Amino acid sequence: MSAVNNVLIVGGGIAGMTLAIALKRSGIRCEIVEINREWTVLGVGISLQGPALRALAMVGVLDPCIDKGFGYSFFKACNADGQVTGTVQLPRLNGPGYPATIGIMRQAVHAVLQDAIATAGIAVRLGVTIEALDQDKDHVAVAFSDGTRADYDLVVGADGANSKVRDLVFGNADRPRYTGQAVWRATVGRPAEVEARYSFFGPRNKAGFNPVSATEMYIYLVQNLPDFIRIADDRLPEVMREQLADFRGLLAAVREEIVDHRNIVYRPVTSGILPAPWYRGRVVLIGDAAHTTTPHMAAGADLAVEDSVVLAQLLGTDDALPVVLDAFMTRRHARCRMVVDNSFMLGEWEKNPGAPEADPVGVLDKSLKALAQPF
């Protein structure tokens, strides 16, 4: 018999929805509260690498994600002229019939997970979040922003890098911190020759491509920026094009497609990991709420989906909740710490390209091989 019978998941993003689907498959009742009144997501693409695809297969949603994305099995590093300087073969963790990685629009991933949530009959309350948590040894009493209250056996904070659950339970001392870089993503048309993810290392910044469908890709740019600067929406295209002015070849040609600010997302890069354990009593954190990684390894979604699957697996056992949560930390902390630390290191090398120890292709290759191991 499971240690919990009803679980509250705070946050309806990738981590929260995957956990809800996994819990339902384990026979555990759960519900989601999502602060946004409209269950939507920013229109930009992401990478779902082998670890995420493997975990999504475990909850039965891999094939529809594959259908909506663009699959590939290698990554190329290039200089500013477009010459290839290194190639990383990505492991196919789901067998030869599946790609190693997919690029996919965030809306497409959310649509797949939302369909699975609806099919499973999982309750979702939009425009609602938590205001207070009061727990004892048997349950957590939750006060919601709409004035309602309810008791749960477990509360899971899957509410992202700016987690309210984390602040309520752990305080705000360990919030993710700005790293001195900003990330840009602009959705454009996909040229036929772009068949995988590419990174181009220029004199000022790193940029690249990630295909997300047969017709679309996004251009990403990691900008070295000691202090994050807010930019008016209507200026985003021209500023992004200027930051890409150092690059030649195909990247120079496609940057001229960056004309509509509605297709651009510009955000500060933050990083941080909560010291272990990520739980107190009957409240636990997963995904970005516990470990916010920079985008340099494209592994943030991988970790979030893995967290959800592992937690659901453990909750489905006969073990007592403290045993379950200790086991969750044993399986997740070192793996997530490796990704956070190595991703941060890659960003530091981009800010200091002359560092004698810099080996971005080697670190990426080693890290991806580690993530290919069972979780």
Helix/strand/coil (H/E/C) assignment for every residue in 59-84: CCCHHHHHHHCEEECEEEEEECCCCE
Q: Quick one: average pLDDT of 133-159?
A: 96
CA dist 251 and 255 (Å) reads 6
Q: Quick one: average pLDDT of 281-307?
A: 96
Locate tokens 């040609």: which residue?
Answer: 253
Tokens of 360: 């971005």
Q: In which band, very low, low, confident or very high, does the pLDDT at 348 lie, cut at 50, 70 and 90?
A: very high
Tokens of 126: 């939009």
| pLDDT of amino acid 89 | 84
Q: Does 42 have pLDDT greater than 80?
A: no
Q: Identify the CA nearest to 98 among candidates 74, 76, 69, 66.
A: 66
Q: In which band, very low, low, confident or very high, does the pLDDT at 364 lie, cut at 50, 70 and 90?
A: confident
| pLDDT of amino acid 317 | 95
Q: Which class for 294: exposed (0-12), middle (13-18), buried (19 or more C-beta within 10 A)?
A: buried
Q: Does 108 have pLDDT greater than 90?
A: yes
| pLDDT of amino acid 176 | 97
CATH number of 178-269, picked from 3.40.50.720, 3.40.50.11810, 3.30.9.30, 3.30.930.10? 3.30.9.30
Locate tokens 């384990």: which residue?
Answer: 26
- The answer for residues whose C-beta is within 8 angstroms of residue 331's C-beta and 6 or more apart is 310, 375
pLDDT digits (tens, 9 = 90+) for 51-93: 999 999 999 999 999 999 999 999 888 999 999 888 888 889 9
Q: Does 15 have pLDDT greater than 80?
A: yes
Q: Quick one: average pLDDT of 274-283?
A: 97
Q: Angle at Cα 44 formed by Cα 229 and Cα 271, nearest 5°?
A: 50
* Cβ neighbour number for residue 369 with a 10 Å cutoff: 12
Q: Quick one: average pLDDT of 346-354?
A: 89
Tokens of 160: 């992202």
Least confident of 74-83, 108-117, 296-305: 74-83
| pLDDT of amino acid 151 | 97
Fold classification of 6-176+270-371 is FAD/NAD(P)-binding domain (3.50.50)
| pLDDT of amino acid 360 | 84
Q: Which class for 52: exposed (0-12), middle (13-18), buried (19 or more C-beta within 10 A)?
A: buried
Encode 8-27: b = buried (16+ Cβ within 10 Å), e = exposed: bbbbbbbbbbbbbbbbbbee
pLDDT digits (tens, 9 = 90+) for 211-257: 999 999 999 999 999 999 999 999 999 999 999 999 998 999 999 99
Determine what percent of the chain is predicted with pLDDT higher than 70. 100
Which sequence spans correspond to the domains of the chain? 6-176+270-371, 178-269
Tokens of 333: 């902390």
Q: Quick one: average pLDDT of 111-135?
A: 97
- The answer for residues whose C-beta is within 8 angstroms of residue 237's C-beta and 6 or more apart is 186, 258, 259, 260, 261, 264
Q: Let me know how long the chain is.
A: 375
Q: In which band, very low, low, confident or very high, does the pLDDT at 161 lie, cut at 50, 70 and 90?
A: very high
Q: What is the mean pLDDT of the chain?
A: 95
Q: Does 1 have pLDDT greater than 80?
A: no
Give yes or no for a contact between 99 and 196, defined as CB atoms under 8 angstroms apart: no
| pLDDT of amino acid 91 | 85
